[in-house]
Every structure is written in structure tokens, then in C-alpha cells.
Amino acid sequence: MNAAVAETDHHDHGPAPGLMRWVTTTNHKDIGTLYLWFSLIMFFIGGAMALVIRSELFQPGLQIVDPQFFNSMTTMHALVMIFGVVMPAFVGLANWMLPMMVGAPDMALPRMNNWSFWILPFGFGMMLSTLFMPGGAPASGWTLYPPLSLQGGMAFPFLIFSIHLLGISSIMGAINIVATIQNLRAPGMTFMKMPLFVWTWFITAYLLVAVMPVLAGAVTMLLTDKFFGTAFFTAGGGGDPVMYQHIFWFFGHPEVYILILPSFGVVSEIIPTFARKHLFGYSSMVYATASIAFLSFIVWAHHMFTVGMPLSGELFFMFATMLIAVPTGVKVFNWVATMWRGAMTFETPMLFAIGFVVMFSIGGFSGVMLALAPVDFQYHDTYFVVAHFHYVLVPGSIFAIMAAVYYWLPKWTGNMYDEKWGKIHFWVSTIFVNLLFFPMHFVGLAGMPRRIPDYAVQFADFNAIASIGAFGFGFAQLIFVYVVFKCLRGGEKATDQVWEGAHGLEWTLSSPPPYHTFTDQPIIK
Amino acid sequence: MIGGMNLQSGKITLPVLFLVPVLMFGFGYLMVPIYNVLCDITGLNGKTGAISISEASQLTVDEERLVKVEFTGSLNMYAPWQFAPEVPSMMVHPGKQYSTTYVATNKLAKPLVGQAVPSVSPGRAASYFNKTECFCFVQQSFEAKETRDMPLVFIVDPELPKDVDTVTLSYTFFDVTDKQIN
């Protein structure tokens, strides 16, 4: 294999020297790396904002920040974590892995790939610059509901245009992914032979192409309402603020599946490897993913049960939402069935994957509770909702990203990471993430509203616990940075297959893979 | 087998993939008229019905039944008016036409244009609450410091669900001096 690598290097150009390599690159591995680093940096920026929120909420009363800045923090934390961390991390993983998994030499549209990454830093530069503007950063919540969002300072147009840029970036990324999967699969790689990470990204990419433009439309309407005299959402001019919520959540609900479906793919790769069994129910996994994607388009109004919908509307959205539990249940069942009587070992990626299955399910259960329209009136806009979506996003999406990085890091770098510190990272993260988010269920059910910098004294103990969990979880991520850097600088050499039970095209390549892979198409039998 | 697509299909894939976001951007805007039509049909958000005087005169009056109609008036933020209904509530027979007024005073020493936006609660009563004449149909211009009675003529449809005995009509008054829409 080493001889083969040397030969490939001899024939092909390696990376260009110097820093310009990263600016001008069209190589899927380079761009994947850029996305992942970008995501890691934004993870710490968004995390710092979360720690500002949790510091203020450590005690009742107003101590550290003023309420306006607190609201800016909740808004910016969400925007950064959603558009700057989870989405770029998954696009980065897709860039690195999809061509290697389907046997393609690169992404289908390499130049557009470069562009879709390099838009991101500018989009976020613009968004984060609002923190220093008169009037402060946007403070209306990431959902930007009018009329509140229209009352901000000069930050507002910057926010809208940065959302446009991020939308363009992810639409281009998604088009690239669909084109790669549809057209560049190696001979014999039929749709039903694709690895599940490829399948989930294929479906996610379609969701992105379909709904990001709807968000762009919604925020454009906000922009014209504020500056050009239109009245889409201004009641005085014949518009309706509630309509914004409908348009926003028509984007927003598929968006939350954009944040979770690739995680399903990652976990479906990792669990079979470490259980040393084939994935249980491959085709049902594919159909379940497709069903979840379809259902995501017809459930949006469950985010707004309390706006005053007709009873028939509440019932429709309630039952459609509860229906999502069926394909999701199929997936959880299949993961458990894959582990059943498997020869399991618990390396760090597997720990994160199992942690994902358990804690994502907790978030799923609170999701079913929130789906019930009659009881949602109690939960709406309380910390119960915050607990729910953080359970599916942090020990859900973020844990899946961590699992994916640990799983593929030896493949990317050629070195094994430090298993001991990887496991410590997992256990510390898991303990603190539960300390952080589990008490939020209790204060939420007891009526503590979200997005408020102060609270009634009876919530003090649980909030103090959550804040301790937040700092523990936040600083535990420095272990992750340590493990990644240590792995980059050296370590035990990884074999091509890396993991004993790993199957798939990416494991037939050397570790690290040559700069250009599969210039000769592999044939899948 | 579903698979087995080859490189040539890329010629179709790309234009289609670029077309989808363009169409979906348009769909976002298309949701505006769709939403308005749905609201008109279902009475969603308490959008009230409007009927002509001739239609109203053909409704049969239900002398047996009395429905309480409550009126409220509120100002959108910074709207510089005093704005309130003349009477807080009326007992009405469904099918019979009634009239009342709202009183508004411009508190500023300069002309203003206002727009009242109605909402009826409960929402399912909204489509049975019809107005033949309403100050909310057009924008209202006020001279400096002017006080004016603004008329409202309404009729409750006799088909109003039997269990509804109180209907609340609420108006919010908006300052639209800066952005007059014709």
C-alpha cells in the first residue's frame, strides 16, 4: 500500500505550498478540514456566549450583564451554534468522507466547494460584528419574530445579509453533495449499497436545497418591511406577524432535521463497526430517514400551538408530529438490535455513539411530550423546551460530530488519537451535559420561562446546578482540542482499516489517504 | 435497481438542483397569498367577514337569541391617539344590523394617519361576524388635535355556533403616517 501511495504522489500534484493552499484549494479533503476547523472555532465562540448566559442565570437577580445583552447572547448563541457549528461540521465531514465512501476522486463541483466554504467566514464576520454596533447585536431570539426583530438597531440589516450569505453557502454545499452522490458513485455502488452516512446526507442535502431559500425569503420580507415600506408582517399595513412564524417554521422544522439526520448516518456507521455486526435493518434505516424528511415538511405549526390555531389545525399538527416518533423509533430499535449479541468494544467513538442513542432518545421523549397540543400550552416557551432541544442537539448532534471525529481522525491523520484522554473526554462531557440540561426539565415544568435573565427564587438551586454543568461541559471540550492536536502531531500509526470491524471504501485507502484518492474508480461487487 | 446512474445524468442534475432553490424562494413569497386565503376561509387569526348591505338585509333575524358583543380598543406602540369604544358591550340579536362608534383623539399638534386592525375572538366566531361599514376599511386621516367618532355597522350571522354567547371585537390602532399604503 505504501508503494501505491508513493506512486500516486509521483503522478499527482500534492497540495500547493504555503498559506494560499487553503485559500485556493479545490481539494475535498482540504475543504473538509477547513470546515471542521471553522466549526471548532465557532463552537468555542458560541460556547463562550452560552457561558455568559449560564453565569447570569447562576443566581436569581441581575448580576453580570444587562437584559438587552443577555437577549443578544441567547440570539447569537443559537445562530452561531446552528449555522456556524453543527451545519459546517457536518458539511466538513461530508466533504472529507463522501467522495471516499462512494469511490469518487473529489466532490462533483470542486470550485463551487471552495466558494461555499469561503463565504462562511465572511458571513460570520458580518454577523459577529453586530456585537460591537450601537444598539447591540440582534436580541430577538434566533427565530427573529416580528415585530420585535424589526425594532433593533443598525445590527438588523447586517444580520439579514449574513443569513443570506450563510444560506447561499449551505445551498451550494448541498447542491455539491447531491451532485456528487448522484453522479460520482463508483461502478457497482448502487443506491441501496451506499453507506448510511451517504444516504442521510443525500436526504439532508435535499432538505437544505428546499428550505434554506424559504428562510432567505422570510428574512428578505423582514428587510423590506423595515426599510422599503412593505407590510408583510406589519399589521397596520394589512400584514400579519403570525404569518412570519408560519413561513419561518416551514423552514425551521426541516432545519432541525438537517441538524440531526447526518448524526443518524454517523451513528449508523460507528455502531456496526464496534459491534462487529452488519447494521440491522439497512433498508428500513433508509426508508425511516426518508419518512422523517417527508414528515418534517408538514409539522411546522407544532412550534406555534399557542398562537390561536383552529382546533382542526392543532389536531393535524399534533398527530403528524407524533407520527415522526415511528420512523425515529425504527432507527433507535435498529441501533439497539445491531448491538444485540454483538462482539462490542467501547472505544471513544463507540462511547459517543451509544451516548448519542441514549441521550438523543431522552430528547426524543420530551419531544413527544411537546407534540401534545393540549399540554404544550404549559410547556411553551419554558425551560422544558430548552431542555428538549438541547438534549437532541448537544448530546445528539454534537456528540455525533465528536464520535465522527474520533472515528475518522486516525484515517485523516494516520495516527491513533490518545484513547485514554478520549474516554476521559467522553465521560466528563456526559456527566456535565446531563448536569447542565437535565435540571432544565424540572424548572421548565415548574414554569420558568426561557430567554429571561432573571427568575423566581424557587428555581435557584436547579439553575445553579445547570450553570456548574455548563462550565464543566465547556471546559471539558478543551480535552477534545488537546486530543486532536496530540493526534495531529503524532502517535501510534494507524492501519488502513484502523478499526477491526470497519467496512467500507474509505478503509481500503491508506491512513492518511493520499491527497487525491480514487483517480482510478474502484469497482464494487 | 434504483442505482446505476452515470456521469451523463449530471447534465440534467445541475440545472434542476439550481432551479429548486429559486423556486423555493418564490414559494416562500407564495405562502403570503396562500395564508391570506386560508385565513379568509377559516377565520384564522380572527379576520372578520365583510358583506354588502343587500346581503345583510336578506338574513333572517333570530329574535329568540341574544349574543353579547364586547368591544375593546388598544393602541399599537407609540401610536399617539386616544382610542376607545363608545360602549363597552351590546346585547344583539343575530341577523339584525347594529351600529356603534369608536372615539379617537389625535394627541399631537400635527396631522396623522391611522389604521385600525380588527380581530374577533373566539376565532371560530370570526367568520360569522360581518361588517357592512367599518372605519377599519380605509385609513383614517386626522387633523392636529382632532377628535372624531368613527362608525361601525355590523351584523352577527344567525348561523353563529350555538354555544358561542359572547363575541369580542378588538381593534388595534396603528400609526401609518410614515408609510401610507393606497
Comparing CA positions, the residue from A505, A470, A518, A513 lying closest to residue A197 is: A505
H or E element that contains B134: strand B129-134
Does A108 lie at the interface with B, CB-CB under 8 angstroms?
yes
- CA distances to A12, A409, A496 from A5, in Å: 10, 19, 12
Contact (CB<8Å) A191/B123: no
| Cβ partners under 8 Å of residue A10, min gap 6 | none
* Domain assignment of residue B69, yes or no: yes
B13 shares its domain with B96: no
Contact (CB<8Å) B17/A179: yes
* Domain assignment of residue B180, yes or no: no
B51 shares its domain with B117: yes
What is the CA angle A251-A254-A255, rounded to 5? 75
What is the CA angle A94-A95-A98, rounded to 5? 60
B33 shares its domain with B86: no
Does B1 lie at the interface with A, CB-CB under 8 angstroms?
yes
**pTM: predicted TM-score of the whole model, two decimal places:** 0.89
What confidence tens digit (pLDDT) does each residue in A152-198 have? Answer: 788 999 999 999 999 999 999 999 999 999 999 999 999 999 999 99
Q: What does the alpha-carbon distance between residue A107 and residue A125 come to, in Å, rounded to a whole number?
A: 27
Contacts of B2 in chain A (CB under 8 A): 190-192
In this prediction the ipTM stands at 0.83
Strands across the sheet containing B81-85: B49-50, B129-134, B147-156, B97-106, B81-85
| Cβ partners under 8 Å of residue A230, min gap 6 | A221, A224, A237, A239
Does A258 lie at the interface with B, CB-CB under 8 angstroms?
no
Cα A87 → chain centroid = 5
B26 shares its domain with B68: no
Comparing CA positions, the residue from A176, A198, A200 lying closest to residue A186 is: A198
Comparing CA positions, the residue from A218, A116, A209, A119 lying closest to residue A160 is: A218
The x, y and z cell numbers of residue B112, run together, are 396623522
Contact (CB<8Å) A310/B174: no
Q: What does the alpha-carbon distance between residue A357 and residue A336 come to, in Å, rounded to a whole number?
A: 9
Report the mean per-residue pLDDT for chain A.
93
Report the mean per-residue pLDDT for chain B.
82
Contact (CB<8Å) B117/A213: no
Q: What does the alpha-carbon distance between residue A350 and residue B72 come to, in Å, rounded to a whole number?
A: 61
Does B33 lie at the interface with A, CB-CB under 8 angstroms?
no
Q: What does the alpha-carbon distance between residue A128 and residue A132 come to, in Å, rounded to a whole number?
A: 8
What confidence tens digit (pLDDT) does each residue in B47-61 have? Answer: 666 666 677 677 788
Q: Does the pLDDT of residue A11 top 80, yes or no?
A: no
What confidence tens digit (pLDDT) does each residue in A444-458 have? Answer: 999 999 999 999 999
Comparing CA positions, the residue from A162, A167, A168 lying closest to residue A138 is: A162
- CA distances to A91, A248, A307 from A303, in Å: 26, 10, 9
**B135: pLDDT confidence band, cut at 50, 70 and 90?**
confident
Task: Calculate mean pLDDT across residues A478-492.
Answer: 95
Closest CB from B7, B14, B172 relative to A235: B172
Number of structural domains in chain B: 2
Contacts of A210 in chain B (CB under 8 A): 20, 24
B27 shares its domain with B92: no
For residues B85 and B72, the answer to whether their CB atoms sit within 8 Å is: yes
Burial B15-28 (b: 16+ CB within 10 A, else e): eebeebbeebbebb
Q: Which of A9-13, A271-275, B159-163 has the lowest mean pLDDT?
A: A9-13
B89 shares its domain with B169: yes
Q: Does the pLDDT of residue A270 top 60, yes or no?
A: yes
pLDDT at A16: 77
B147 shares its domain with B120: yes
Q: What does the alpha-carbon distance between residue A433 and residue A327 come to, in Å, rounded to a whole number?
A: 26
- The whole-angstrom distance between A1's CA and the closest CA on chain B is 29
* Domain assignment of residue B2, yes or no: no
* Domain assignment of residue B181, yes or no: no
Residue B146 backbone zone (phi > 0: left; psi -120 to 50: alpha; other: beta): beta
pLDDT at B179: 65
B165 shares its domain with B112: yes
**A74: pLDDT confidence band, cut at 50, 70 and 90?**
very high
Domain hosting B35: range is 8-42
* Domain assignment of residue B55, yes or no: yes
* Domain assignment of residue B143, yes or no: yes
Cα A64 → chain centroid = 30
Q: Does the pLDDT of residue A293 top 50, yes or no?
A: yes
Please give the torsion angle defined by the CA atoms of residues A169, A25, A397 and A165, in that order, rounded to the nearest 10 degrees: -20
Q: What is the CB neighbour count within 10 angstroms for residue B119?
A: 18
What confidence tens digit (pLDDT) does each residue in A76-117 have? Answer: 999 999 999 999 999 999 999 999 999 999 999 999 999 999
Contacts of A217 in chain B (CB under 8 A): 25-29
B51 shares its domain with B38: no
Is the CATH number of domain A2-508 1.20.210.10? yes
Strands across the sheet containing B89-92: B89-92, B67-75, B166-175, B112-121, B140-142
Q: Does the pLDDT of residue A25 top 80, yes or no?
A: yes
The x, y and z cell numbers of residue A511, run together, are 491512513
B87 shares its domain with B114: yes
Range with the largest mean pLDDT of A3-7, A332-336, B93-97: A332-336
Q: Tell me the Cα Rg of chain B.
A: 23
For residues A318 and A310, the answer to whether their CB atoms sit within 8 Å is: no
* Domain assignment of residue B85, yes or no: yes
* Domain assignment of residue B3, yes or no: no
Cα A186 → chain centroid = 28
B74 shares its domain with B16: no
Query: To probe the interface with B, which of A106, A170, A184, A209 has the most B CB atoms within 10 Å?
Result: A209
CATH of the domain at B140: 2.60.370.10
B60 shares its domain with B123: yes
